[in-house]
Amino acid sequence: MKVYEALKWASSFLAEAERDHNAGELLLRHHLNMSRSEMLASLRMDLPDGVWEPFKTDVHRHADGVPVQHMIGSEEFYGRSFTVNKEVLIPRPETEELVEGILLKAKSLFKGYETIAAADIGTGSGAIAISLALENPAFRVRAVDIAPESLEVASMNAESLGAEVEFLHGDLLAPVMESGTKMDVVVSNPPYIPDAEVLELSPVVRDHEPHRALAGGADGLDFYRRLAADIPRVISTRALIAFEVGAGQGEDVKALLLEQLPNAQAEVRYDINGKDRMVFAVVEGAPHD
């Protein structure tokens, strides 16, 4: 069998199973140990011995709901490969837009700063924290998670990617408040799916990603309420707050922030697909002025 024939079969099979047909390409690249350009240059090559059966097995596993990222053990995020497993949320492309927004805003807001103290709350795989630390050397990032298993994955990613991030175990902002350190940037991509909707998610997500990273209470806003209530206690006089939100939650989350930070400049930002997926707030002056 040729490489292109294996890809064609996988694409057709996964489309019929109502899965992402592009997953076949990721799986075949993994089994061939090739980059995308290498594989595309080898489409008419015969599949090497020992590749077809494990590839076919993995395509069937994905059709049954197992995430591709769990089979290959990683996901690309902001140009880097992050180890992922069942203990962390698989990083999404829209979260890259959150990181990009933070980096752009930090350039002007913290111009002249030698160091920018940042906290990533609910870090999971560490994708946000590690990307910020590597993209802007001025960032001094602390990353918090309630699950030791998630922190283990995030620490592994930081080490393999050469990022200096301090990992803290605890519930949301509690470890930051206990340290007494003031933050210039607070970022979070917390659980935001209403509890009742978690059961309606695709099996790829529902059955394989940690529920603690998905369920956000009856209306999906529980974690934003808790974060907004505590943020005034941890931010510097000039600060940037950045949240990823579920589509349709932007204005509600913005209102929660403005309730606690009435002098902040808050905005809802839309992602590349036209969905309200980010809320940014800039505070200049004491949080309770």
Query: Is 91 labelled a binding residue?
Result: no
Query: Is 108 labelled a binding residue?
Result: no
Query: Is 101 labelled a binding residue?
Result: no
Separation of alpha carbons 218 and 24, rounded Å: 36
The rounded Cα 216 to chain-centroid distance in angstroms is 16
Query: Is 123 labelled a binding residue?
Result: yes
Query: Is 83 labelled a binding residue?
Result: no
* Cross-strand pairs, 75: 82
Query: Is 191 labelled a binding residue?
Result: yes
* Cross-strand pairs, 192: none
Residue type, 165: V
Query: Is 285 labelled a binding residue?
Result: no
H-state helical runs in the chain: 3-16, 23-32, 36-40, 52-63, 68-72, 93-109, 127-135, 148-161, 174-179, 195-198, 203-206, 222-230, 250-260
SS3 content of the chain, % helix, strand, coil (to 5): 45, 20, 35
Query: Is 230 labelled a binding residue?
Result: no
H-state helical runs in 143-266: 148-161, 174-179, 195-198, 203-206, 222-230, 250-260
3-state SS string for 138-161: CEEEEEEECCHHHHHHHHHHHHHH
Q: How distant, in Å, are the alpha carbons of 119, 251, 257, 265 from that of 262?
A: 22, 15, 8, 8
Separation of alpha carbons 57 and 130, rounded Å: 33
Query: Is 125 labelled a binding residue?
Result: yes
- Specify burial of residue 34 (Cβ count, 10 A radius: 0-12, 13-18, 19+): middle
Query: Is 93 labelled a binding residue?
Result: no
Please state the residue numbers annotated as binding site.
Answer: 122-126, 145, 189-192
Please state the residue numbers annotated as binding site for substrate.
Answer: 189-192
Please state the residue numbers annotated as binding site for S-adenosyl-L-methionine.
Answer: 122-126, 145, 189
